[in-house]
Amino acid sequence: MARRRDTTRQEQGRAAPAGERWFAELVPGLEAPARAELQRLGARRLEPVADGVRFEAAQPARLVREARLVAAFYLALDFAVPRPKALLGDAAFRRLSEAVARVAGPHGRGTPLSGGPFDGLRLAAAGAGSPVMLRLGEALAGAAGLGFDPEAGELVVRLRPGRRGGWEVLVRLTPRPSSARAWRVCNRAGGLNAVVAAAMNELVGVRPDDRYLNLMCGSGTLLVERALAGPARRLVGVDLDPAAVTCAERNLQAAGAAERCELLAADVAELDAGLGRFDVVVADAPWGDAVGEHDANRRLYPLLLERAAALAAPGARFALLTHEVRLARRLLPAAPGWELVRELQVAHGGHNPLLLLLGRR
Ligand SMILES: C[S@@+](CC[C@H](N)C(=O)[O-])C[C@H]1O[C@@H](n2cnc3c(N)ncnc32)[C@H](O)[C@@H]1O
């Protein structure tokens, strides 16, 4: 009976008992816009920690559904135990398995909080392969009615030493991280993390009368995220590679945004005034980490900055994500028409590209 009442409360979006703590894993470098988004969506008592932020929320399901700038959401629990083995003790294990059941729902079928079913449970912890961790993982999976799958389990339970002693347990609320968007039906090598794309759009500003141009759009991550963030006067994506344009088209279709966007297979160098003027330009330029690409980028980057300026309306904003940190820093002071507003170093797939926010002079 108690369980049924809980489910009903969750469905009404009033799930969280007072004082319950949640954890949002954030992309390093993008903490500030992500924290602002969390507060806008109702998170309270934010407490920044090394790789994210802890918070309270009356409607955590709303946060999970609507936040675009968070890498993953977790239910957070602190255990005053000296080592993980003690989590197998009666009281600690009961509390832990109740938390897992709250996220997983009956037999891992999911809850309004998770938004979907889970296939298997895994532990993510230093020493996850040790006998104690394996016992704990198996016991938790059994209590939740799930299989224990140390490699690919979708219900992720993270264990790590607590900040004030003891152990912290984080139960991921969704079967996949939030950056794995439902709209992504096509991916390409070098595809941008959707959380980084959403943050780039947020930092450069989302206004309903913007004419928005995504140069070198690849699979369309920036364009899709911008279309989903709100109305715009125009939304245009351009890529040299027709296969990239087809891929972006598929993702836009899946996002239900294809009809609002224009896609063009073209070389940035050849874009001219015929395309129109834009209030926002964004680009995630070629990485240049393969031999030979650096040379191509030395020719491409000046052209990119020059063409972006030519297509930019007065007062336009330009967000450029680049792995060519030294090249971009060298070119920027002499770049025609652009002044540096802000720069951020962002973590992306083991790299630390530079996010440049530029303003049209
Ligand atoms: C890092 S990828 C962009 C990835 C994209 N943000 C995504 O999420 O899939 C760089 C893209 O630049 C495109 N590109 C390279 N040179 C170009 C040029 N001269 N004109 C237009 N696009 C170009 C490539 O085809 C590639 O799709």
DSSP string of 168-208? EEEEESSSS-TTS-TT-----TTPPPHHHHHHHHHHH---T
User: What domains appear along the chain, each with residue ranges and CATH number?
Assistant: 2-172 (3.30.2130.30), 194-360 (3.40.50.150)
The residues lining ligand 1, judged by C-beta closer than 6 Å to any ligand atom, are 188, 190-192, 216, 218-219, 221-222, 239-241, 244, 267-269, 284, 286-287, 300
What's the rounded mean pLDDT across residues 266-284? 97
Most confident range, picked from 14-18, 112-116, 174-178: 174-178
Q: What's the pLDDT at 8?
A: 36
Are 14 and 113 within 8 A, CB to CB? Answer: no
Q: What's the pLDDT at 292?
A: 61
Give the residue with greater pLDDT, 314 vs 334. Answer: 314
What's the rounded mean pLDDT across residues 135-144? 96
- 3-state secondary structure at position 284: strand
CA 326 to centroid of ligand 1, rounded, Å: 19
- Residue range 171-223, pLDDT digits in tens: 999 999 999 999 999 999 989 999 999 999 999 999 999 999 999 999 999 99
- 3-state secondary structure at position 258: helix
pLDDT surpasses 80 at 3 = no
Q: Which of 192, 213, 239, 263 to mutate to test the pocket of ligand 1 (most atoms within 8 A of CB)?
A: 239
Neighbouring-strand partners of residue 25: 52, 72
pLDDT surpasses 90 at 143 = yes
